Structure 1
């Protein structure tokens, strides 16, 4: 996983409550770190594309369907981490984020989060709006792969 493949990153400082008595980050917190990254990615995407929160989604939302994290080295209390994310794939109703959590140039955790675009009321998958895909394509410098298959959750 190459940092140069990510246009977006956000810093995050490890807090005391996220570490065990030895000062090592508990593994479950890395998913929270990735989630902070996703939130900040959307904020940066909105700023770059001029899209307001919820605009163009028309009663739909993205729901997490699958997560995978590979632990390579531990983060420690008070480390300054960089959470890198990029949309790596679009399906018809799903998309995948690649995640890289770094301390300086050391990759600590890599992973993938798959989201399904769905109606907020029924939670049934719906196609991702083309305007959203276009905004992501314009934002990223590594274009997402595209396929028509949805992730079933």
Structure 2
């Protein structure tokens, strides 16, 4: 996985509270970094949680997270959180994540979200407006979007 495999990235600096006494980032914080990256991805795509993603009593819920640790980040490192949607199904989508320091891949992973009714948490189709925004942002061909 290379940085060029992603259309979007978001820079952030490791804060003191995210590192242990040796200055190494605690592993749980990488999921927060990924979440910040996904939030900024939505924003760059023009789809915020208060917009179409949460319309009509529905929302996206994380159902699977997988992170693979390759090398540690340290206090005060500048990181780039790379994000892309690798699969867009009827009611779910798979994000791929790459967290880099310069060109070095520190952590890679995937996060799967399901679009669902907020009260019942039962899956529902991803809104067409959101789907079109993803296809346009990622420059996916419609046939590249899986059902």
> What TM-score comes out, normalization by structure 2 length?
0.91
Distance in 1 of aligned mates of 2:87 and 2:118: 22
- Please list the CA deviations of residues 17-64 of structure 1 after superposition, one character each: whole Å capped at 9, or x if unmatched: 111111000111000000110111111111xx7x89323732210000
Count residues with an aligned counterpart.
145
Change in CA separation of 1:113 and 1:64 when aligned onto 2, cut-off 3 Å: same
The partner residue of 2:50 within 48, 53, 67 is 53
Conserved? CA contact 1:67–1:113, under 8 Å: yes
Residue 98 of structure 2 aligns with which residue? Answer: 100
Distance in 1 of aligned mates of 2:134 and 2:83: 12
Distance in 2 of aligned mates of 1:55 and 1:93: 14
Structure 1 gap segments, 5+ residues each: 149-153
Residue 122 of structure 1 deviates from its aligned partner by: 1.3
Q: How does 1:114-133 map to 2 (within 5 A)?
A: 114-133=112-131
> What TM-score comes out, normalization by structure 1 length?
0.88
Distance in 2 of aligned mates of 1:18 and 1:139: 31
> Which structure shows the bigger proportion of residues in helix conformation?
2
